[in-house]
């Protein structure tokens, strides 16, 4: 099946005479009907290039051509290109474009802007929740998540609000729609024993310094990957956080953090500085954590995420997200007496109120402990030892210092060449991947998914048989 072009990119097709024609909407007439222009070329590539040039010359929809009768999909495109896209980051642009192209435009894009009602939107959200998923339905079901439905609503609401401001419609039909409840993602934290096993396993797999630094600072994944040796002062132990790495359609980009509070300095513990000093002797790169396969490039966020899950599995720890390592750092910091203001500065939050909101369960426990200490301090409550009744022995203090674990790192046996690999993505999803070399000399990967490792192994075996047959056929055609 041919890949659908994004909204606003125009259409490209091959004519009966063999030439390629590209067509794009450049505006709308007084009746609201689209006005188009076309280009012709001998090849598809040339046609796309000409179409892109025509699009740049026309500058998209002109404000004077925007009318209340225009299809909502066209208005959405105009709003996104002119009012939303210039203000958001490339990673956010990708999610916006995906929502608009896959979900919103196909469902309600043809409805005239001034005819779109709250009922249209409400039914649209219901369809998304019931059967809106376009990909990975086998793994996640046919309906979209509550969060994705809310994000589609947010996009529609913002676009329609701009239409109200421009006088195209009188009221915003998205206001008042009933949405799935907003659920906070559950925060998971590694226990002290799990942390010991995790770091022992990370050291065995060559990722000790990376995860130790993250657990000692609470850096975001993109901030950690963007670190360079020039950002660390070994004399003072000060680490400068001033950039981040993110993946945009398979390409790594480096930029400044989103907020000014994210640009910060962190003083590392002396023990961590010494670990990094020794680690630097083994690294021949400007990046703290360079890619082992790409020259002068940091590790990609996706690689680190997958490696985290493998280490957690081998260390017999519960599976947590990379961001939960940040929560683990914050939890330990608060439990060990760090004040919220200092923690907020280290985490790069906009204000201490953000930190309090996220870690309210921990700060509540701290407040109760502080209240008990104050109560004892002013004499209204006796210490626990004096609270025992006469003749009754005071219970001995059973608290013990955490002992070191005797955990032995998992070494594991390597899979045989040509059998692919299986990775546990989360508690209920496994991914099988096979990446053979094809006759063109390049590796092409394919994936399968299943709810159990055993099922994933069976699917992977079938995938390998199918791909080997395709490779053999491709080699036969190449040799002809």
The full DSSP string for 111-123 is SBGGG--HHHHHH
Local confidence band at 397 (pLDDT 50, 70, 90 cut-offs): very low
**Domain-located, residue 209:** yes
**Domain-located, residue 228:** yes
- Asked which of 321, 337, 368 is the last residue of a domain, the reply is 321
Do 137 and 174 fall within a single domain?
Answer: yes
**Domain-located, residue 150:** yes
Q: Is the pLDDT of residue 79 over 90?
A: yes
Local confidence band at 387 (pLDDT 50, 70, 90 cut-offs): very low
Do 220 and 150 fall within a single domain?
Answer: no
Q: Three-state secondary structure along 404-448?
A: CCCCCCCCCCCCCCCCCEEEEEECCEEEEEECCECCCCCECCEEE
Domain that holds residue 457: 421-479
Domain of 204, CATH number, reads 1.10.443.10
Do 84 and 45 fall within a single domain?
Answer: no
Average pLDDT over residues 323-346: 90
Q: Is the pLDDT of residue 247 over 50?
A: yes
DSSP H stretches of helix in 292-350: 301-314, 322-335, 340-347
Burial classification of residue 424, based on how many CB atoms lie within 10 Å of its CB (0-12 exposed, 13-18 middle, 19 or more buried):
middle
Per-residue pLDDT tens over the stretch 65-77: 688 999 999 999 9
Do 25 and 113 fall within a single domain?
Answer: no
**Domain-located, residue 369:** no
Local confidence band at 36 (pLDDT 50, 70, 90 cut-offs): confident
Per-residue pLDDT tens over the stretch 107-153: 999 999 999 999 999 999 999 999 888 877 777 788 999 999 999 99
255, 246 contact by CB (below 8 A): yes
**Domain-located, residue 413:** no
Per-residue pLDDT tens over the stretch 83-101: 888 888 888 888 898 899 9
The answer, as to whether pTM is greater than 0.75, is no
Average pLDDT over residues 455-462: 90
Could you give the CA distance from residue 190 to residue 256 in angstroms, rounded to a whole number? 30
Please give the C-alpha separations between residue 202 and each of 63, 139, 405, in angstroms, as whole numbers: 56, 29, 15
Do 197 and 305 fall within a single domain?
Answer: yes
The domain tally of the chain equals 4
Could you give the CA distance from residue 462 to residue 391 in angstroms, rounded to a whole number? 74
**Domain-located, residue 277:** yes
Average pLDDT over residues 154-162: 95
Q: Is the pLDDT of residue 276 over 90?
A: yes
């Amino acid at each position: 099946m041919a890949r659908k072009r994004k909204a606003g990119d125009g259409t490209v097709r091959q004519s009966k005479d063999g030439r390629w024609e590209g067509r794009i909407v450049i505006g709308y007439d007084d009746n609201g009907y689209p006005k188009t222009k076309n280009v012709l070329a001998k090849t598809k590539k040339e046609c796309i290039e000409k179409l892109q040039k025509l699009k740049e010359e026309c500058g998209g929809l002109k404000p004077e051509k925007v009318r209340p009768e225009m299809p909502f999909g066209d208005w959405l495109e105009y709003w996104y290109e002119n009012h939303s896209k210039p203000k958001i980051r490339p990673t956010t642009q990708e999610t916006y474009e995906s929502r608009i192209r896959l979900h919103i435009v196909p469902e309600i894009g043809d409805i005239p802007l001034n005819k779109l009602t709250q009922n249209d939107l409400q039914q649209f959200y219901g369809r998304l929740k019931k059967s809106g998923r376009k990909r990975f339905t086998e793994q996640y079901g046919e309906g979209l998540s509550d969060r994705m439905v809310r994000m589609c609503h947010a996009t529609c609401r913002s676009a329609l609000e701009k239409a109200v401001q421009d006088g195209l419609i009188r009221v915003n039909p998205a206001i008042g729609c009933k949405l799935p409840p907003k659920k906070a993602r559950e925060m998971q934290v590694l226990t002290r024993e799990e942390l010991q096993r995790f770091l022992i396993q990370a050291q065995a797999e060559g990722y000790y310094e990376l995860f130790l630094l993250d657990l000692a600072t609470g850096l975001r994944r993109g901030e950690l990957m963007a670190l360079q040796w020039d950002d660390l002062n070994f004399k003072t132990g000060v680490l400068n956080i001033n950039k981040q790495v993110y993946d945009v359609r398979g390409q790594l980009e480096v930029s400044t953090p989103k907020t000014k509070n994210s640009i910060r300095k962190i003083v590392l513990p002396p023990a961590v500085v010494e670990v990094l000093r020794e680690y630097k002797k083994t690294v021949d790169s400007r990046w703290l954590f360079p890619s082992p396969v790409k020259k002068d490039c940091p590790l990609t966020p996706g690689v680190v995420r997958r490696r985290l899950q493998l280490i957690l599995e081998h260390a017999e720890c519960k599976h947590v997200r990379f961001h939960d390592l940040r929560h683990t750092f914050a939890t330990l910091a608060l439990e060990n007496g760090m004040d919220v203001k200092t923690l907020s500065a280290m985490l790069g939050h906009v204000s201490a109120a953000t930190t309090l909101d996220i870690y309210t369960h921990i700060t509540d426990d701290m407040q109760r402990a502080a209240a008990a200490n104050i109560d004892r301090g002013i004499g209204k409550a006796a210490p626990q030892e004096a609270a025992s009744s006469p003749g009754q022995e005071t219970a001995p203090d059973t608290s013990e210092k955490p002992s070191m674990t005797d955990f032995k790192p998992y070494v594991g046996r390597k899979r045989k060449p040509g059998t692919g690999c299986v990775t546990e993505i989360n508690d209920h999803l496994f991914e099988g991947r096979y990446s053979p070399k094809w006759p063109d000399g390049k590796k092409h990967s394919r994936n399968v998914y299943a709810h159990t490792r055993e099922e994933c192994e069976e699917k992977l075996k079938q995938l390998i048989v199918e791909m080997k047959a395709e490779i053999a056929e491709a080699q036969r055609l190449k040799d002809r």
